[in-house]
Amino acid sequence: MRIDTDAIDDRTVVCRLAGELDAYTAPDLRDTLAEHIRSGVAWIIADLGQLRYLDSTGLGILVGAAKQCRQAGGDLAVACDRRNLLKIFQISGTQEILNVVADVEAARARLQELAHSRQAGAGDAEEGT
């Protein structure tokens, strides 16, 4: 599996995965995502456009990273349009918690939407105090 990362800004990266994500390759992804989060990244787009295979170990890494992003005030979105991978997200019931959308543009839009709704929520909470 190959992982290439593009930084959009200090808090946002796109990780493009190519190849096969299984129990053998998943630690590389876990370490890469953890390193980004440690360095201050809170918004991650996992671009699976070139990924051919995904199993439960890989899903676990993505779910774990999404939790860490949320703890850091951000979130994770998955860009994926491959039918065999979408089936894995659907069966596992992880489409929503991983914000699975068709492509990177839609993933960026989804994360922006989440950021805005959280800002609005924080504003409401402030007004209420």
Partner 1 sequence: MASSNANTVELVLPGRSEFLQVARLATGGAAARAGLSVDDIEDLKVAVGEACTNVVDHAFGESTSEDNRRIILRMTVGRDEITIEVEDEGVGFDPAELERGRRDNYDGDGGLGFWLIKELTDSVRIESAPGSGTRVIMVKRASR
Among 5, 20, 103, 106, binds partner 1 (CB under 8 A): 20
- 68: tokens are 């860490």
- Cα–Cα distance between 120 and 124 in angstroms, integer? 6
The answer to the question of residue 63 lying near partner 1 (CB under 8 A) is yes
* Least gap, CB of 119 to partner 1 (angstroms): 26
How buried is 107 (Cβ within 10 angstroms: 0-12 exposed, 13-18 middle, 19+ buried)?
buried
- Cα–Cα distance between 66 and 45 in angstroms, integer? 10
Tell me the window of 40-48, 85-93, 100-108, 110-118 that interacts with partner 1 (CB under 8 A). 85-93
Residues lying near partner 1 in the complex (CB under 8 A) are found at: 20, 22-24, 53-57, 59-60, 63-64, 67, 83-84, 87-88, 91-94
